[in-house]
Chain A
Amino acid sequence: GAVVSQHPSWVICKSGTSVKIECRSLDFQATTMFWYRQFPKQSLMLMATSNEGSKATYEQGVEKDKFLINHASLTLSTLTVTSAHPEDSSFYICSAIPSGATGELFFGEGSRLTVL
């Protein structure tokens, strides 16, 4: 149990376009999901906390207008990178915690974004 699916795994886009990444909890409901960004050989940087039915909470320094987060249901959160530029190229990972749980987060497989 506790499977988190992320799609797409890889995406290449042109500079100036927008890209949407989906994060789904397949066998549990998640009131809260998290979006991380990871640079090569570095740790995870928390970008934002996605809350079902309300606005996302962004970490300091993360542009909320560039990284749009929508948590439309208890099993789906989306991250849209708007007007992407090469510096947005990165590995994006989502995670979720079952509603009411107090333990570990479950992570998606990550999405590699390359902006040309």
Chain B
Amino acid sequence: AQSVAQPEDQVNVAEGNPLTVKCTYSVSGNPYLFWYVQYPNRGLQFLLKYITGDNLVKGSYGFEAEFNKSQTSFHLKKPSALVSDSALYFCAVRDFPSNDYKLSFGAGTTVTVRA
């Protein structure tokens, strides 16, 4: 079984400050981990993924995430947040190996960056 938890419904930060969005996961095998961002009335945009290799993954728009196996976490970070980063963020996981490509999504975290 695979699942993801995003413990924070909302994260509020001031522009220019560091942004962190938390995610923890549970899988039977090895995790494939993903972060997506959603703007109002839009689909999901892919930010970054961890499949294997370096624990620190760099993605789009200056975002990065760190895979921590011992803490089963994959927190999303950005050193200096922008107002345009305000959106809904989803963490997702897929168990590997698995027979399908289904992702399990977290509940989502709404990020608000104030000017």
Q: Does any Cβ of A come within 8 Å of B101's Cβ?
A: yes
| B-side contacts of A110, CB under 8 Å | 41-43
Q: Which residues of A contact B (CB under 8 A)?
A: 4, 6, 32, 34, 41-44, 46, 49, 91, 93, 95, 97, 102-110, 112
Render B43-54 as a binary contact track against A, CB cut-off 8 A, 1 for contact: 111100101000
Contact A109 B42 (CB under 8 A): yes
Q: Which of A32, A41, A103 contacts B32 (CB 8 A)?
A: A103
Contact A6 B34 (CB under 8 A): no
Contact A103 B49 (CB under 8 A): yes
Q: Which of A6, A46, A104 contacts B43 (CB 8 A)?
A: A6
Write the nearest CB–CB distance from A23 to chain B, whole angstroms.
10
Q: Which residues of B contact A (CB under 8 A)?
A: 32, 34, 36, 41-46, 49, 51, 88, 90, 96, 100-103, 105-108, 110
Contact A42 B107 (CB under 8 A): yes
A-B contact pairs, 5 of them (CB 8 A): A41-B110, A49-B102, A93-B43, A105-B34, A105-B46
Contact A43 B107 (CB under 8 A): yes
Q: Which of B34, B45, B88, B102 contacts A46 (CB 8 A)?
A: B102
Q: Which of A4, A91, A93, A103 has the most CB of B within 10 A?
A: A103
A10 nearest in chain B by CB position: B41
| A-side contacts of B34, CB under 8 Å | 104-105
Contact B46 A106 (CB under 8 A): yes
A51 nearest in chain B by CB position: B100
Write the nearest CB–CB distance from A45 to chain B, whole angstroms.
9
Q: Cα distance A49–B32 when bound, in Å?
A: 19
| A-side contacts of B106, CB under 8 Å | 43
Write the nearest CB–CB distance from A113 to chain B, whole angstroms.
12
Q: Cα distance A106–B108 when bound, in Å?
A: 18
Q: Which of B41, B51, B90 contacts A91 (CB 8 A)?
A: B41
Contact B102 A34 (CB under 8 A): yes
Contact A108 B32 (CB under 8 A): no
Q: Cα distance A39–B36 when bound, in Å?
A: 17
CB-CB under 8 A for A107 and B44, given A32-B101, A46-B102, A49-B102: yes
